Copies of this chain bind each other. A is one copy, B any other.
Amino acid sequence: MAHGSGGSMMHALIESLILRKFSNPILNELADGATLGLKGRISFTTDSFVVSPLFFPGGDIGKLAVCGTVNDLVMTGARPQYLSLGLIVEEGLEMPVLERICDSIALSARLASVKIVTGDFKVVEKGACDKVFINTTGLGRIISRNILSAKSIEKGDKIIITGEIAQHGLAVLAKRKNLDLKLNIKSDCQELGGLLLPIIEKSGAVKFMRDPTRGGLGTTLNEAARASRKGIIINEEDIPVSSQVKAACDLLGIDPLYVANEGKAVLVVKNKETGRILTMLKKHRFGRKAAVIGQVSDDFKGKVVLNTIVGTQRLVDMLSGEQLPRIC
């Protein structure tokens, strides 16, 4: 508890852990706030991370906390620059665990070219939180050639997903429930700036992007359909799902359309330039499995329709209940 007191033990911890891991000139000032020189249109986004377990195949809460907020910035067309870091730690959490999480945050931040410039550290009594919660809030400069907005979506636009879906949610589920599926499913948790920023910087063909995290691809497409007041028609056979994920979903009776992703994006792009965008995506290692999965329609306004493998059509609604809590 004393590490969260604001007193000398907290100062020692901040110097030995936080400053050592995340050192940069702005953070090192240890002011009440970081002073930044910003210009232009700035994107500002926040996310709290409460994932359980803290470590899972393919990632951990630290990597997730960086990639999640970085990706939200990228989705708005911004190049991520700065993150704040708010840690809430349960009394008694082992120091090596905290250190491992901080190492993961530092590495992920480096890979995403963002700096952690300000932070906060709280300790709560045993039982008052589950090990550690992390808030990251991000700032980035908007660099997309056009304004990315669901309102610019039109009939004929194509829907692209940047890779295979449903890995993150299943990886967390399997780990939490100790399911030995023998399927080796790893979270897809990764930052998407490297894949997407070069495309939206050069091309005005991408109209809208969103990362299908909580609620999965199905919910994200519903958000796009509602906000644009257009219909979205997708083809089941075109949606990339790995054979392992397919097997796990069949086994567990889960629809992969509602399983969270943490390293994928849905893009709505101009019909004529779809081929060019897809080619660019496929050249990047995080976009090799990118696919066109559907198109925008003036029918079914505000709704998402799936053409199934067996030739039928069905509505894809938003996730309504809770498939698996605390996946991010």
Shortest beta-carbon contacts, A-B, top 8: A6-B214, A7-B319, A6-B215, A33-B45, A46-B84, A137-B137, A135-B135, A8-B318
A85 at the interface (CB under 8 A from B): yes
A155 at the interface (CB under 8 A from B): no
CB closest chain-B residue, reference A227: B30
Question: Residues of A with Cβ closer than 8 Å to B?
Answer: 1-2, 4-11, 30-39, 41-48, 50, 52, 72-73, 75-76, 78, 82, 84-88, 117-120, 122-125, 127-130, 133, 135, 137-140, 142, 149, 210-211, 213-216, 219, 223, 227, 258, 260, 317-323, 325-326
Apart from A7-B321, A36-B44: 5 A-B pairs, beta carbons within 8 A: A1-B322, A5-B321, A11-B318, A32-B45, A32-B76
Contact B7 A72 (CB under 8 A): no
Cβ–Cβ < 8 Å partners of A215 in chain B: 5-7, 10
Cβ–Cβ < 8 Å partners of A2 in chain B: 320-322
Interface of A: prevailing SS = mixed
Cβ–Cβ < 8 Å partners of A124 in chain B: 50, 130, 325-326
Contacts A/B (CB < 8 Å), 8 sampled: A5-B323, A7-B318, A7-B322, A34-B43, A36-B43, A45-B118, A50-B129, A125-B325
Contact (A325, B11) CB under 8 Å given A6-B215, A82-B44: no
Contact B7 A88 (CB under 8 A): no
Copies of this chain present = 2
CA distance A39 to B42 in the complex (A): 9
Closest CB of chain B to A288's CB: distance in Å? 24
Q: Contact partner of A33 among B1, B76, B219, B223, CB < 8 A?
A: B76
CA distance A210 to B33 in the complex (A): 11
Q: Contact partner of A128 among B1, B46, B50, CB < 8 A?
A: B50
CA distance A122 to B48 in the complex (A): 7
Contact A33 B72 (CB under 8 A): yes
Q: Contact partner of A47 among B120, B211, B322, CB < 8 A?
A: B120
Contact (A35, B43) CB under 8 Å given A213-B6, A319-B6: yes
Contact B319 A88 (CB under 8 A): no
CA distance A37 to B221 in the complex (A): 29
Closest CB of chain B to A4's CB: distance in Å? 7
Contact (A8, B44) CB under 8 Å given A38-B38, A128-B130: no
Interface centre among A5, A42, A52, A216 (most CB of B within 10 A): A5
Closest CB of chain B to A57's CB: distance in Å? 22
CB closest chain-B residue, reference A7: B319
Contact (A34, B44) CB under 8 Å given A8-B317, A8-B320, A318-B7: yes
Cβ–Cβ < 8 Å partners of A35 in chain B: 41-44, 76, 142
Closest CB of chain B to A237's CB: distance in Å? 25
CA distance A211 to B323 in the complex (A): 44
Cβ–Cβ < 8 Å partners of A322 in chain B: 1-2, 4-5, 7
